[in-house]
Structures are given as structure tokens and as C-alpha cells.
Amino acid sequence: MNYAEPDEVGKLDELVEENDVRVIVDSKALMFLVGTEMDYVDDEIKSEFVFNNPNSKGTLAVEKAFMFD
């Protein structure tokens, strides 16, 4: 996740605003994010953005994404 300046937003990028929060989605990522819900969780252990995509076929753990010799 990156911060964007107003002049960095492309004309085909999607701007989503709710509760004074702005999220800009790159146009190349839109088809992969259709239906995705984003939430912010703040509890005793952590504070984080949580993404739930009902179209996802599964997840990939980071340690399984790389091969080590």
C-alpha cells in the first residue's frame, strides 16, 4: 500500500471515499479487486487493514512463495 499525491492519480484509477477515508485503486488492479471488502481492525494486539475478497480462490503464504536452496 502506497500513498499517492493528487497528481499521481490516473484518469482510469478508481477513487473510493467513505467516512473521510480515500482509497485510490490502480486501474490495472480493478478486475482483481471487484467485490473486495476493506476494513480497519484496531484491537489489543494489532491495528491493521483487513481485506476480504469473496472471489479469491485461496491464499498463498509468504514462506511458500519462495524457494530456498
CB 23 within 8 A of CB 38: yes
Degrees to nearest 5, angle at CA 52 with 50 and 57: 135
pLDDT for 36 equals 87
CA-atom Rg of the chain in angstroms? 15
pLDDT for 64 equals 45
Instruction: State the cell numbers at 65.
Output: 512463495
CB 24 within 8 A of CB 13: yes
pLDDT for 47 equals 92
CB 32 within 8 A of CB 16: no
Give residue-wise pLDDT tens across range 6-63.
Answer: 778 888 998 888 888 888 888 998 888 888 888 889 999 989 888 888 877 776 665 4
pLDDT for 54 equals 82
